[in-house]
Amino acid sequence: MFYIYCPHCGEHREEEEFHAKGQAHLARPLDPDNCTDHEWGEYLYMRKNPRGLHHELWIHATGCRKFFNMTRDTVSYEIKEVYKVGERPTVVAAS
């Protein structure tokens, strides 16, 4: 079980209160009517599945019902940090 810090409530809560919503920082094509099928398909379906650091979108579903981002290690399951939507992660994979 995760014990997750909600940046909106300002305290840790049980994983039971949250839902994972997949990869964070997805860029929606700015002009969907005029983008290519490839671009739209990339946006809709193509997701990373990294071994190691992963930025994910989560929602505090039974709490404040707000979304936030989490950086998590998919190997150790360690939560590196949580941060609000609109903020940038400080823990990023070395490129």
Partner 1 sequence: MSDIIAPTKPAAVEAAPVATVALMDQLPSADIRAESPLYHADLATVAKQGPKTGGVTLQEHKLLGHLVIRGNQDNAGFLAGARAVLGFDLPTQPLTAAEDGALSVRWIAPDEWLVIMPGKEAFELENRLRAAMSGHVAIVNVSGGQTVLELSGPDARAVLKKSTPYDVHDRNFPVGKVVTTVFAKSQAVIRRTGEQNWELVIRRSFADYLWLWLQDACAEFGLVVKD
Which entry of partner 1, Zn ion, none binds 39, CB below 5 to 8 A by partner kind?
Answer: none
Which entry of Zn ion, partner 1, none binds 29, CB below 5 to 8 A by partner kind?
Answer: none
Footprint on residues 41-80 left by Zn ion (CB under 5 A): 60, 63-64
DSSP 8-state class, residue 37: H
Nearest distance from residue 34's CB to partner 1, in Å?
A: 19
Buried/exposed code over 29-46 (b: 16+ C-beta within 10 A; e: otherwise) = eeeeeeeeeeeeeeeeee
Interacting residue ranges for partner 1, rule: CB under 8 A: 8-11, 13-14, 16-17, 25-27, 55, 62-66, 85-89, 92
Return the residue matching tokens 């939560």.
79
Give the residue with the Cβ less far from Zn ion, 17 or 73: 17
Which amino acid, residue 63? G
Instruction: Give the C-alpha separation, 36 to 93, whole Å.
Output: 30
